[in-house]
Structure 1
């Protein structure tokens, strides 16, 4: 008898349909039971496509008393009293928030649906008052306290980053709306708000100081996402099939999965979490790919980097403290937004000074993010850029430094005049992007310190040692290679060595001259 094909819940966010339609489900209900049993008001921040919506849908089914959906899961064994409660589930992910009234319309639509169930009052004239009225009547009419689930609470604020007036409008709407959770405490059994980010400095939660932020709580780190143990328990057969299709050993397939999709750390000294969206797509298609990244990267992230003239090279080893990680500083500091959005993760922790070291979680994110940056920093589009990088790599691998240096000039063409005041940083960022991408195909080591840029690129047949002068001459660059003995480590290497000194011109805003030895 032919074995039934397993179906994967890619994009499936409704727990009831997932269970009834026979999708693969990694049992998170023991953790969910622990969450419900140990507190009442929670906030959880996780990157997009990490399963936040499915988590809320699972909680909704639980609070609605749908015991049959939990058959065979840990919740069936752990829960003794199945109580059916009213659930108010608000999903802000569905709206486009580009005008002050766009948020009002979404909130009004949801409240109107709840009022159809629990009634209205003519004295409730604001969104917050109507929300409070629904809560009170739901509790009175059912005799049970209410469960409140809010998905992507921060979507309006994220879409308004860079637009101070619009963000202020949204904050003024959301602050009293979320404040209802505190004023109506007696009618609430449980509340969970999820989102990508934490708006600490521009808080919409200042009237709601009873939220327990579990984003970095070790007890609940794997509420969303997939652990190494869960992957092997649930997908062992898929890993073997993937290895066969990709002509890999089982160990090689495991290492590649880890390299591509593991590495999310939501606190320090903890196990890594796999990206569930990419992992499920890989098992379904039996092909490695940048699945999570291809679902869309918000341009506001890059706008934050550019507006702050951020040094991209810092992203590989950024250090910061918990206060920064747990808040967003509007347009002043891009790192909290990028960390909370999942493009950086915790790589290490200095306990003495309370400093977190950040970096890209895995290759999918690193390569995808660097490729995404190209059209924002160069004249090349997303479509053109990969072809240009491959030409770069071919020329480097063929030992043609003249050709790839001429190509490098094209990456600096048409530098916008508004960047003149930050020209040095722009040069550094473009070089970082180009050689990071080259490094995915070759062995490239890129370092910066005290205004000095060093680059070593190694291929099967060649080694390139390059020095870039942003305020100097090509002769000075090549002299620095000699004086500081940058090439000495490669003297006994049989590969052909190129020493290259390059200088930039602030007048032409491009590479001016190079010397190759």
Structure 2
């Protein structure tokens, strides 16, 4: 029988009591609770942050039976005293809620306080106050006095009330921000009452007061020791999911190595610190095992509008997302809403990941982590970059790809012309710089790469694009407002076709010229290479 996979499950107790597969992350729990007091962790959505918070909640609640056979059971049992101590826990799960409502955030915070009063049997009259911050402070003091134990405060998805309003309702976003300023700053002077504090979120807003008021909040988001705290490592994949890998391999008619390679290309590649282990997207991986297919599951939950808007206002070439962009550590870890640079938000949201680090200059190089992110995100850009609906895009791409598979580069160029002619440009908004033409063309060719080998570079020193089908290889060079002969000449002089000369497939050199004035392809030349 197929095992129970915890798709969408975020409650540790539910997973353990109902026989779901669980990847043991309790060694991170042990390390954290035995080395500090207050932490912050940033990870992309659906990466397991809520499950980790729930694991902390069960641990501090002394639910010993849930940890049978896990790493932390042995470590806890080795204690000479205070093993499996039960602490009072205040848990804020903020992923749900109508935060565009004037009372959405205040109601959510207030309900948590009311729930704790009932759960721990506190005197409601003592947990009073004219404001939420005062009630929160009184709650912590009352819990400490009643139990004789310090209090644990867990905050999951702290930034959801801000992210969900920063585009649609900026006035409410500022009000939510101000409410946070007073509420969580209560923790600043209560160290004596607190056992452990843990915040999670997608982004770390530099101007949100919890990071200035709670200066003892240690950010472990880029700490190499905690790179695998969320997500699934290669070792965890092979140890915990052997039956699922076997079933997927059989369903897809692959060998084991082919299946593992495909899984890595689709869902692996996330690195959250310099030189760290890579992790797989857990949500996509579990869905792939459940459906026994390689789908784009993470993107079915939607791409945040803010990412597309950020890229629309940026002149960053799209190829940089695949080949590498550079950022400092401070830029990656502190997001400002008014920052025009899209890189920090793309990194914190999981659309870029660390691929290299320059220790001398302390600079990170980032790129798209895997094919699911690459093709899913590029597909979401089609309406804004090409002016087409998502429904129109697949048909045109299939037609272009069919032309190249059939050895019809002339027909391919005709379709490119037709596509560019259909792109609507508002008055005065036509692309006037080479990067915009590259962005549109790169997007078209990259999406074709989901169905064939398409290496797109758009950078000097290499062919702009190489497309490989079962029978043909096409080496493209694109020029703006220049003779088409220049494109062919560059292919020859730079030797772009040499590495394919021994290949048995028919090899074509294709030069293409765009016109700024015409906003389209105005000339092209196709030559069969005989190198």
Normalising by structure 1, report the TM-score: 0.92
Query: For the residues of structure 2 that align with 1:276 and 1:72, how far apart are their CA atoms?
Result: 22
Q: Which residue of 2 aligns with 1:385?
A: 393
Q: Which residue of 1 aligns with 2:334?
A: 327
Query: For the residues of structure 2 that align with 1:166 and 1:423, how far apart are their CA atoms?
Result: 38
Query: For the residues of structure 2 that align with 1:136 and 1:516, how far apart are their CA atoms?
Result: 78
Q: Which residue of 1 aligns with 2:362?
A: 354
1:147 is displaced (CA, Å) by 0.8
Q: Which residue of 1 aligns with 2:134?
A: 129
CA change 1:493–1:71 in 2 (3 A) is closer
Give deviations 1:70-91, integer Å, cap 9, x for gaps.
2222222222422222211111
Secondary structure of the structure 1 residue equivalent to 2:430: helix
CA change 1:120–1:182 in 2 (3 A) is farther
CA change 1:97–1:451 in 2 (3 A) is farther
1:203 is displaced (CA, Å) by 5.5
1:294 is displaced (CA, Å) by 1.9
| Residue 413 of structure 2, aligned match among 397, 405, 410 | 405
Q: Which residue of 2 aligns with 1:109?
A: 111
The answer to whether the 8 A contact 1:40-1:189 is kept is yes
Query: For the residues of structure 2 that align with 1:10 and 1:388, how far apart are their CA atoms?
Result: 34
The answer to whether the 8 A contact 1:179-1:205 is kept is no
Query: For the residues of structure 1 that align with 2:435 and 2:110, how far apart are their CA atoms?
Result: 46
CA change 1:5–1:122 in 2 (3 A) is closer
1:473 is displaced (CA, Å) by 4.7
| Residue 42 of structure 2, aligned match among 42, 45, 54 | 45
Query: For the residues of structure 2 that align with 1:26 and 1:123, how far apart are their CA atoms?
Result: 41
1:379 is displaced (CA, Å) by 2.5
The answer to whether the 8 A contact 1:466-1:499 is kept is yes
Query: For the residues of structure 2 that align with 1:249 and 1:489, how far apart are their CA atoms?
Result: 29
1:394 is displaced (CA, Å) by 0.8
Query: For the residues of structure 2 that align with 1:220 and 1:454, how far apart are their CA atoms?
Result: 39
| Residue 377 of structure 2, aligned match among 369, 376, 382 | 369
CA change 1:113–1:21 in 2 (3 A) is same
Secondary structure of the structure 2 residue equivalent to 1:346: strand
1:150 is displaced (CA, Å) by 0.6
Q: Which residue of 1 aligns with 2:87?
A: 85
Residue 190 of structure 2 is aligned to residue 178 of structure 1: no
The answer to whether the 8 A contact 2:42-2:203 is kept is yes
The answer to whether the 8 A contact 1:161-1:167 is kept is yes
Query: For the residues of structure 1 that align with 2:343 and 2:399, how far apart are their CA atoms?
Result: 32
The answer to whether the 8 A contact 1:500-1:514 is kept is yes
Gaps of 5+ in 2: none
Query: For the residues of structure 2 that align with 1:421 and 1:129, how far apart are their CA atoms?
Result: 55
Q: Which residue of 2 aligns with 1:157?
A: 162
Query: For the residues of structure 1 that align with 2:365 and 2:495, how far apart are their CA atoms?
Result: 31
1:328 is displaced (CA, Å) by 1.2
Secondary structure of the structure 2 residue equivalent to 1:269: coil
Gaps of 5+ in 1: none
Query: For the residues of structure 1 that align with 2:70 and 2:462, how far apart are their CA atoms?
Result: 58
RMSD: 2.6
CA change 1:283–1:484 in 2 (3 A) is closer
1:57 is displaced (CA, Å) by 0.8
| Residue 424 of structure 2, aligned match among 409, 415, 433 | 415
Residue 219 of structure 2 is aligned to residue 213 of structure 1: yes
Q: Which residue of 2 aligns with 1:62?
A: 59
- 1:428-447 residue pairs with structure 2 within 5 A? 428-447=438-457
Residue 283 of structure 2 is aligned to residue 281 of structure 1: no
Q: Which residue of 2 aligns with 1:336?
A: 344
Secondary structure of the structure 2 residue equivalent to 1:205: helix
1:399 is displaced (CA, Å) by 1.5
Normalising by structure 2, report the TM-score: 0.89
Query: For the residues of structure 2 that align with 1:262 and 1:318, how far apart are their CA atoms?
Result: 19
Query: For the residues of structure 1 that align with 2:393 and 2:367, how far apart are their CA atoms?
Result: 24
Q: Which residue of 2 aligns with 1:13?
A: 10
Matched residue count:
514
The answer to whether the 8 A contact 2:442-2:458 is kept is no
The answer to whether the 8 A contact 2:228-2:277 is kept is no
